[in-house]
Amino acid sequence: MSAPPPSPPADLLHDWNSDGPPSVVRRRVELYDETLRDGIQSPSVTDPDIESKKAILRLMDRLGLDWADIGLPGAGPRAAADVEALARLIRDERLGVRPSCAARTLLADVEPIVRIAQEVGLPIEVMAFIGSSPIRQYVEDWDSAMMRSCVEASIGAAVRAGLPACLVTEDTTRARPEMLEDLYRRAIDRGAYRICLCDTVGHATPAGARRLVEWALDLVRRSGAAVQIDWHGHNDRGLAVPVTLAAYEAGVDRVHGCAIGIGERVGNAPMDQLLVNLRLMGVIDNDLNALTEYCDTVSRACGMPIPWNYPAVGRDAFRTATGVHAAAVIKGERKGNRALADAVYSGVPAHMVGRRQEIEISHMSGMSNVQAWLASRGLEVDAETCRAVLAAAKAGNRVLTEPEIRAVLAAAPKP
């Protein structure tokens, strides 16, 4: 357990977010990372080599993530080899993160997971998925009898092999309740310990997610089984984070996400943003100092650049060149309370994610920016040189680079 981030005195902030929260808000939720399976299905990413996957898995463990989807071994020999290597890494290095694998509801997909689990000597969760919406059933020409048979066979095979099994219904947020109940009950009857609600095309709103989760909780209660509920969301409407948080507040036990939101089309719920929000909500106490390294490693391995303005880990997340903003941050630092500097112009504490406030110099800056920039680098210069730096910034239309600032310093007359 990591120490909570320091906070400014309570009387300096009024938190409207905390007024009348649902009683469930403080309940712990499990975190399931899809980066190495659903994430790499993005058409624009590179499937990382196995050493990069191992590095990413170790970072998931450092962040305290509970589960990692380590692949879909039924996809082919390379996928199966990677899954086995990652399972062995978890075993040999005694990582806390637990392994899970995706599978279509086909015996041909379940069997490789069973084989790898037996060879490695490590239980691997089976996430057996099948489309559940009327539109998917129509375009695939699936009949209900075939769907029931696939669910029963795949879940049954995993359970008989002694592996934990979860039925994942794709496109749950556009599926009819009678079909969902039929499939879930068959999975539960054959030993599934979880069911997963999937917002496969990013259709759900927070209100829709709450209604679906409430329905699923009622189904589980009526079944009489000790079954847990997952939420898996995509970001097509830009709502993946608030929808996932709504699903959590409604009562799901585990939420899914991918580093920097990679995944099909516009991607999955970003695991990094879920971690930040759940930590700020007081739901988890995970140490997030490795968050930037986790995102940077996935970015490099997958060939997906992180936008400059990306929350918490983007280059500009804690960076300002605006005079008013910079002056407030500097004044907070001068009061000897790091939390003041972090909170005065930031909704996320930089130190919580291993970052710090950064003051830059631009045409929007004041003299305090120049003084702070120089002090942060241990440079002491006279007032005239400071004015020369600020004048150079005012003559431009962007942030000055470090070489540009140092060139002004070098050209200034020496006292």
Model pLDDT for residues 274-321, shown as the tens digit of each residue: 999 999 999 999 999 999 999 999 999 999 999 999 999 999 999 988
Which DSSP helix (H) or strand (E) runs through 295? helix 291-302
Q: Does the pLDDT of residue 415 top 70, yes or no? A: no
| Length of the chain counted residue by residue | 415
For residues 326 and 368, the answer to whether their CB atoms sit within 8 Å is yes
Average pLDDT over residues 393-406: 94
Return the pLDDT at 3.
Answer: 56
> How many Å from the N-terminal Cα to the C-terminal Cα in the chain?
53
Whether residue 106 sits in one domain with residue 186: yes
Return the pLDDT at 16.
Answer: 82
Return the pLDDT at 1.
Answer: 47
- Does 11 fall in a domain? no
- Does 385 fall in a domain? yes
Whether residue 326 sits in one domain with residue 226: no
- Does 381 fall in a domain? yes
Whether residue 217 sits in one domain with residue 342: no
With 0-12 / 13-18 / 19 or more C-beta atoms within 10 angstroms meaning exposed / middle / buried, residue 193 is: middle
- Does 310 fall in a domain? no
Cα–Cα distance measured from residue 241 to residue 194, given in angstroms and rounded to the nearest whole number: 22
Question: What percentage of the chain exceeds 90 in pLDDT?
Answer: 80
Return the pLDDT at 246.
Answer: 97
Average pLDDT over residues 265-276: 97
Q: How far is CA 219 from CA 180, 182, 223, 245, in A?
A: 10, 10, 6, 21
Whether residue 109 sits in one domain with residue 193: yes
- Does 6 fall in a domain? no
Return the pLDDT at 329.
Answer: 87
Average pLDDT over residues 56-70: 98
Whether residue 147 sits in one domain with residue 196: yes
Return the pLDDT at 23.
Answer: 46
For residues 172 and 200, the answer to whether their CB atoms sit within 8 Å is yes
Return the pLDDT at 275.
Answer: 98
Average pLDDT over residues 384-407: 93
Tens of pLDDT, residue by residue over 112-155, are 999 999 999 999 999 999 999 999 999 999 999 999 999 999 99
Collapsing DSSP to helix, strand or coil, 380 comes out as coil
Whether residue 195 sits in one domain with residue 165: yes
Return the pLDDT at 19.
Answer: 61
Whether residue 340 sits in one domain with residue 291: no
Q: Domain tally for the chain? A: 2
- Does 371 fall in a domain? yes
- Does 5 fall in a domain? no
Apex CA 228: angle with CA 222 and CA 234, to 5°? Answer: 115
Q: Does the pLDDT of residue 109 top 70, yes or no? A: yes
Q: Does the pLDDT of residue 5 top 90, yes or no? A: no
pLDDT band (50, 70, 90) for residue 323:
confident
Whether residue 335 sits in one domain with residue 238: no
Return the pLDDT at 20.
Answer: 55
Average pLDDT over residues 25-47: 92
Considering only CA atoms, which of 129, 149, 103 is closest in space to residue 197? 129
What is the residue whose two structure tokens read 């048979």?
Answer: 149
For residues 235 and 266, the answer to whether their CB atoms sit within 8 Å is yes
CA dihedral 132, 134, 135, 136 (to 10 degrees): 30
Return the pLDDT at 2.
Answer: 53
Return the pLDDT at 6.
Answer: 64
Return the pLDDT at 321.
Answer: 87
Enclosing domain of residue 395: 319-411
Chosen domain end from 302, 328, 352: 302
Mean pLDDT, the chain, integer? 93
Whether residue 59 sits in one domain with residue 176: yes
CATH no. for residue 149?
A: 3.20.20.70
Return the pLDDT at 414.
Answer: 72
How many CA atoms are closer than 13 Å to the CA of 58, on its beta-carbon side?
Answer: 12
- Of 12-26, 233-247, 282-296, the least confident: 12-26
Chosen domain end from 273, 302, 331: 302
Whether residue 367 sits in one domain with residue 337: yes
Return the pLDDT at 115.
Answer: 98
Cβ burial 270-302 (10 Å sphere, 16+ → b, else e): bbbbbbbbbbebebbebebebbbebbebbbebb
Whether residue 252 sits in one domain with residue 351: no
Question: What percentage of the chain exceeds 70 in pLDDT?
Answer: 95
- Does 80 fall in a domain? yes
Whether residue 199 sits in one domain with residue 344: no
Cα–Cα distance measured from residue 147 to residue 142, given in angstroms and rounded to the nearest whole number: 7
pLDDT band (50, 70, 90) for residue 24:
very low
With 0-12 / 13-18 / 19 or more C-beta atoms within 10 angstroms meaning exposed / middle / buried, residue 323 is: middle
